[in-house]
Amino acid sequence: MTKEKALIMVKLDTPTEREAEWNNWDNTAHIPVRLAVPGFLSARRFTAMENIPQSFAIAGDPKYLTLYDLADTNVIKGELYGKLREKETALPSDSFEMIMEKLPKFSRGVYEQVYPEQGEYKPPSTRFVFLVGHEVPQNRQEEFSARYDTEHIPAVLCVPGFVTARRFIHAEREFPPRWSRIVKACY
């Protein structure tokens, strides 16, 4: 069963010696072809901040993060995205498309939005994203969701600078997990 509103989260470190070239490619080639696929709603790229408190840092975490908002998970199971991926996998082995998934810190996850359940979402014009990931035992997910949705998120949104919040759960049945099951993103 496909839920509406989904997110692809990609983390990676670029090849150091080609970082500027990689960033140009990602911004002008890789992301635009995805946004041309119906159902890809937006894409935002971020770099990890330096000199943040250790309690907010993940040691060894990749430098780059890209968030793709999707209408639903059917977008990446659809024919148009399938054709795009087929075309990309036929590229030479030294192309960025082929190099990307072989990078040591590359990770990608597909997530279904669970909060808020309704309403339109438009990515805010902010330069920052605050991500939190949790592993929640199966027998505690309902309790966790109730507390997060009714207490935690409203409290976070009272903190100056936090402008919106969403919560996602990894679509692990359709897209095998590669990292955190539940992710809450506050922009």
- What is the per-residue pLDDT for 118? 74
Beta bridge partners of 46: 65
- What is the per-residue pLDDT for 96? 96
Tell the residue number behind the tokens 């998970």, with chain if given. Answer: 73
Number of independent structural domains in the chain: 1
Burial 68-80 (b: 16+ CB within 10 A, else e): bbbebbebbeeee
Predicted confidence (pLDDT) per residue in 102-161, tens digit: 899 999 999 999 998 777 777 888 899 988 888 888 899 999 999 999 999 999 999 999
Beta bridge partners of 40: 70
The range of the structural domain enclosing residue 114 comes to 4-186
Averaged pLDDT score across all residues of the chain: 87
Please give the C-alpha separations between residue 89 and each of 8, 80, 135, in angstroms, as whole numbers: 19, 14, 32
Count other Cβ atoms within 10 Å, centred on residue 110: 23
- Biggest CA–CA distance in the chain, Å, is 50
> Over 50: is that where the pLDDT of 12 sits?
yes
Predicted confidence (pLDDT) per residue in 19-41, tens digit: 999 999 999 999 999 999 999 99
pLDDT band, very low/low/confident/very high, at 63 (cuts 50, 70, 90) = very high
pLDDT band, very low/low/confident/very high, at 3 (cuts 50, 70, 90) = low
> Over 70: is that where the pLDDT of 186 sits?
no
- What is the per-residue pLDDT for 185? 44
Q: What is the CATH number of the domain that holds 38?
A: 3.30.70.100
Predicted confidence (pLDDT) per residue in 84-94, tens digit: 999 999 999 99
- What is the per-residue pLDDT for 2? 45
- What is the per-residue pLDDT for 184? 41
- What is the per-residue pLDDT for 58? 80
Torsion of CA 137, 143, 144, 146, to 10 degrees: 150
Q: Are 71 and 34 in contact (CB under 8 A)?
A: no
- What is the per-residue pLDDT for 176? 64
